[in-house]
Structure 1
Amino acid sequence: MDVANRLRGLRAMVTGGASGIGAAIVRRLAEEGAHVVIFDRNETAAREVAEACGPDVRVAVLDLADFEALDSLIAQTGPFDIAVNNAGIDQHAFFTDTTEADWRRLLLINLEAAFAVTRAVLPAMQKGRFGRIVNIGSEAGRMGSRGGAVYAAAKGGLIAFTKSIALENARYGITANSILPGPIDTPLLREAINGGGEKLLKAMEGATLLRRLGTAEDVAAAVAFVASREAGYVTGETLGVSGGMGIAQA
C-alpha cells in the first residue's frame, strides 16, 4: 500500500491538534490523505497548522471541558472514521502538593474528555461498521510517575478505557488502541518540568535505551499506522513510543 495514500478518503478528528504532538499528528494524517478537523481552544495556533497543511484540514474551536459544545461540534463536523484523543495537560508536583482542583483539572482533560469524544463518535462508526479510536496516553500510565501521580492515574485509566472500548466494539469493525509516548520534546514537557531545567531533561534521556528525547513525529508515525485500514487486526493494544523506556526501567 502506498503510505502517502493509506488514509485517503478517511475523516479524522484530533483533539489538542494546535501544537506539539497533536500538530504533528494532524500533519501526518493529512500527508497520508485523511481529511482532518483540529479540535482545540487555541484558534490562532490551530489555524496556522491547518493553513500549513492545506484545504483538507479544518478547525473546530472549543474548550474540551464543555461536553455539550463538543457533542454539537462533532455532529456538525462529522461523522468521523478516526478519532484521536490527544489533548492533555500535565503538572510536575508531588501528590501532597496538589489540590482537589488540580485533580479535577487533570482528570477532566486527560481522561474524561476522551470519554466524551468517544461517546460522540461511536454511533456513526458503529453504523458504518468501521472506526479507529486512538488514545494518546503516556508511559506514566503503566509505570507511574514521581511528581505526576494524578496525571499517571488519568493515563492509566485511559489505557483501561481503551481496552474496554476495543472489547465492546470489535463486532462493528472498530479498533481502539493506546499510544504511550515517553519523554517527548514538546512545549508541554518543558512547561511541565518548570524549574527542572536541563538536569531533568538529561535524566529523562537517560531513562530511555536510545538515550534521547523523542519527537512529536515519532508519535505521529505510530498514530498513522493504527489509524490506517491496514491496522484492522490491531486492537486493544498499548504501544509505547518511548525509546525503550519500559525495558530500561525493568
Structure 2
Amino acid sequence: MDTLQGKHAVVTGASRGIGLAVARRLLAEGARVSLMARDAAALEAAAAGLGGDAAWQVVDVADQASVAAAFARAGAADILVNNAGQAASAPFSRTDAALGQRMLDVNLSGAYHCIQAALPAMLEAGWGRVVNVASTARLTGYRYVAAYCAAKHGLVGLTRALALELAGKGITVNAVCPGYTDTGIVQEAVANIVRKTGRSEAQARAELAAGNPQGRLVRPEEVAHAVAMLCMPEASALNGQAIAVAGGELM
C-alpha cells in the first residue's frame, strides 16, 4: 500500500505482542521501522521474523539517558508509537512504593522520555504522529492494578495536553486503549489467576474475555490496525483522542 512511504516509525516494546504487530503493520504501509525494547536477543529475533526489514535498538524507556542514546542511533522519527509497558497486580495494601514507582516509570515516564527525544525532529519537519498505547484501564478502574491504572490515566492526560500544545504544528498525539489483548501480559494475568484462585487456564481466560461484549480477547493485529489508522497522513484531524479497542466494552 505504501501509504507511509518515506516515513520513519519508532515502536517501543516492539519485540513481541502489540508492539511487534504494530511494527509489522507499519512496514506493510511502507514505513521504515525501528524496533525498541530491552532484550537484544528478542529484538533480533523479531526483526528477523519481519524479514530483516526493521532496524532495532536496545532501550530502557524508564531511563532517560538510555532513551536519548537509542533515539540518537535510530535517527529522526516521523512516527512514535509508545507501546512499552508493564502491568503488575496486587491489592493496594500490598502495592509498595517501589511497585507503584515502577508502574509510573515504565508506563508514563517512559512515554514522556520518548516523546521528548522524538519531538524536536518532528517540529523541525512540521509533521509527526505520536500514538500512545494506553489501556481500557485508563478509561475506567480495575481492581488490584491501582498503580497501573494511575499510570495509564496519566498517559492519556499527557496525550491530551500535548495534542493541544502541538495542534498547530502538524503533529497529532493520540492514544489507543486496548481491552484485554491476547499478549504476554494477559498470559501472565491468566497464570496469576490460576495460581491464586485454582481456576483452570481456560476459566481464567474466559473470565478476562467476559468483559468484552464480543466474548473474546482482542487480537494484537486489531490494535495495530487502530494505531496505523492514526498514523496516516489523512488522519490529521484525529487529535487528542483515546480510542478504545475493546469490542464495545467501553463507549
TM-score class, shorter-chain normalisation, is over 0.9
Find the counterpart in structure 2 of residue 170 from structure 1: 167
**Counterpart selection for 1:66 from 55, 59, 63:** 63
Q: Residues 46-93 of structure 1: CA distance to partner in whole angstroms, max 9, x if unpaired?
A: 111112223431010122222112112212212000000000000121
TM-score normalised to the size of structure 1? 0.94
1:229 counterpart letter in structure 2: P
Secondary structure, aligned partner of 1:118: helix
**Counterpart selection for 2:35 from 24, 34, 38:** 38
Secondary structure, aligned partner of 1:246: coil
Structure 2 vs 1, CA of residues 121 and 86 (structure 1 numbering), >3 Å: closer, same or farther? same
**Counterpart selection for 1:182 from 164, 179, 189:** 179
TM-score normalised to the size of structure 2? 0.94
Q: Distance in 2 between the 1:74 and 1:245 partners? A: 36
Residues 13 and 80, structure 1, Cα contact 8 Å, conserved in 2: yes
2:231 counterpart letter in structure 1: A
Residues 92 and 194, structure 1, Cα contact 8 Å, conserved in 2: no
Residues 209 and 215, structure 2, Cα contact 8 Å, conserved in 1: yes
1:85 counterpart letter in structure 2: N
Find the counterpart in structure 2 of residue 202 from structure 1: 206
Secondary structure, aligned partner of 1:143: coil
Q: Distance in 1 between the 2:53 and 2:31 partners? A: 7
Does residue 222 of the first structure (1) align with residue 226 of the second (2)?
yes
User: Where does the alignment leave 5 or more consecutive residues of structure 1 unmatched?
Assistant: none
The total of aligned residue pairs comes to: 244
User: Where does the alignment leave 5 or more consecutive residues of structure 2 unmatched?
Assistant: 195-201
**Counterpart selection for 1:78 from 72, 75, 80:** 75
Q: Which runs of 4+ in 1 moved over 4 A?
A: none
2:66 counterpart letter in structure 1: A
Residues 61 and 111, structure 2, Cα contact 8 Å, conserved in 1: no
Residues 38 and 60, structure 1, Cα contact 8 Å, conserved in 2: yes
2:232 counterpart letter in structure 1: S
Secondary structure, aligned partner of 2:135: coil
Does residue 6 of the first structure (1) align with residue 3 of the second (2)?
yes
Q: Identity over aligned residues, as a percent? A: 38
